[in-house]
Amino acid sequence: MKICVFAASSDKVDKSYFDATEQLAVELVKSNFEVVYGGGAYGLMGKLADVIIQNGGKIQGIIPRFMLEVEWGHKLVTDMILTDTMAERKAKFREGIDGIVSLPGGCGTFEELLEAITLKRLGQFTKPIVILNTNGYYNPLKELLERSIAENFMNARHRDIWSFVDSPEQVIPAILNAPSWDKDAIKFAAVE
């Protein structure tokens, strides 16, 4: 299987986020999952790549050229795809993958995750989306999504778009056991 992982580039986050990223990387390698990620050398992105490489796993980076120009790219990732724009990068993230995992991150990670959720809502992307909620980081997003359902901005069936998990060990089972989703999702009304 091939999984895309969204993750932070900040090195200043709490150690527990790095520990969870390391644990997830080890789990992915043990299960022979290939990983696609943002190509970065720093933060959770860098930790993910370092651990996958150290454990003999397969990882592909996708990074815009302008990020390479400021030396954000991971020098040990040999399979690196360059894009011209952030939008092109996000589109390439979804090519040929079997699911998405979102680790904690900032605005870039939020954008990637919410675009994937939106595309799944519209039936344009049908693979599992698993959100690793380390330290309850994504609790506000979980609450917001629930509120959007409660206030009829989304349909209750849209809960099947995503899965929240609290530990790295729960990620692979969540991917493998995700509810099925197909292109007809675009036909779901916000409220029925």
Give the residue numbers spanning the domain of 126: 2-186
Q: What is the pLDDT of residue 71?
A: 78
Q: What is the pLDDT of residue 5?
A: 98
Q: What is the pLDDT of residue 113?
A: 98
What tokens were used for 24? Answer: 């997830």
| Cα–Cα distance for residue pair 86/64, rounded to 1 Å | 6
Positions in the chain short of pLDDT 50: none
Q: Is residue 148 situated within a structural domain? A: yes
Q: Is residue 191 situated within a structural domain? A: no
The count of domains in the chain is 1
Here the CATH number for the domain that contains residue 73 is: 3.40.50.450
pTM for the full model?
0.95
Q: What is the pLDDT of residue 70?
A: 76
8 A C-beta contact, residue 121 and residue 26: no
Burial class (CB in 10 A: 0-12, 13-18, 19+), 136: exposed
Q: What is the pLDDT of residue 184?
A: 84
Q: Is residue 128 situated within a structural domain? A: yes
| Cα–Cα distance for residue pair 149/59, rounded to 1 Å | 36
